[in-house]
Amino acid sequence: MPDQIHVPEDRVLEDTVVAPGKPWSRLLRAGEYLRLIDLEGQQAIDFLCYNADDPLDRYNAANTIKLNGNIFLGKGSSLWSVRTRKMMTITEDTCGLHDTLAGCCSRESNAARYNVQDTPNCQDILTRELETHGLGERDVVANINFFMFVPVSVNGDIAISDSRSKAGDHIDLRAEMNLLVVISNCPQRHNPACGFNPTPVRLIAYR
């Protein structure tokens, strides 16, 4: 791997590659880090996090947008909870402009937008992974899409556009509280979120 994504071995808690259309989750303690690496470029990662001690206090898109003063996330941005507690801070980012608006794809939204039925989708992937932690469908809230670009025009029009991420781009997030982190490596083939060709991502949890 390129030097810029190397983490010293004695600091690594987990280093794994997640195939497209697959989930991943982990408990992170306050002060630990998670690095998301887009191995081949243009691959969206649907991301949610929850207070590990009180899962009702989970990532909140509206608070995150308001308190960062921006609809895009990048280095220096923080993720905020329902109860306006800082959950994570982005400490490094080689891509920028990560999406807070578009949420996750679902069977129903794919059918409505693209007239395709029973497609693999992040709503189902996140739900199944959350069920392994005693949570479920009602806990899938408006999520972050790391490495996905959703520009907004001056009249409010939005679109899922070609991703800005390149092979090897990465983002580092520091946990500011004990967290459950859950992702879906997006399987979307009907819009540019994954360059119409979903690919693997690498995740490194580290001290």
Asked whether residue 60 is domain-assigned, the answer is yes
Asked whether residue 155 is domain-assigned, the answer is yes
pLDDT of 140 above 50: yes
Hey, how many other C-beta atoms are within 10 angstroms of the C-beta on 76?
A: 11
Whole-number mean pLDDT of the chain? 96
CA dist., res. 75 & res. 152, Å (int):
20
Q: What pLDDT, on a 0 to 100 scale, did the predictor assign at position 4?
A: 55
pLDDT of 1 above 60: no
pLDDT of 125 above 90: yes
Report yes or no: 173 and 90 within 8 Å, Cβ to Cβ: yes
**Geometric angle at alpha carbon 149, from 147 and 150, rounded to 5°:** 145
pLDDT of 5 above 80: no
| Segments forming the whole domain that contains residue 62 | 11-206
pLDDT of 98 above 50: yes
Report yes or no: 102 and 160 within 8 Å, Cβ to Cβ: yes
Q: What pLDDT, on a 0 to 100 scale, did the predictor assign at position 129?
A: 98
Asked whether residue 45 is domain-assigned, the answer is yes
Helical H segments across the chain, by residue range: 61-68, 107-114, 122-131
Number of domains the chain is built from: 1
Asked whether residue 6 is domain-assigned, the answer is no
- To the nearest 10°, report the CA torsion of 84, 30, 56, 186: 100
CA-to-CA dists, residue 52 to 176, 178, 179, 184, angstroms: 11, 5, 4, 19
Report yes or no: 28 and 41 within 8 Å, Cβ to Cβ: no
Asked whether residue 52 is domain-assigned, the answer is yes
Asked whether residue 2 is domain-assigned, the answer is no
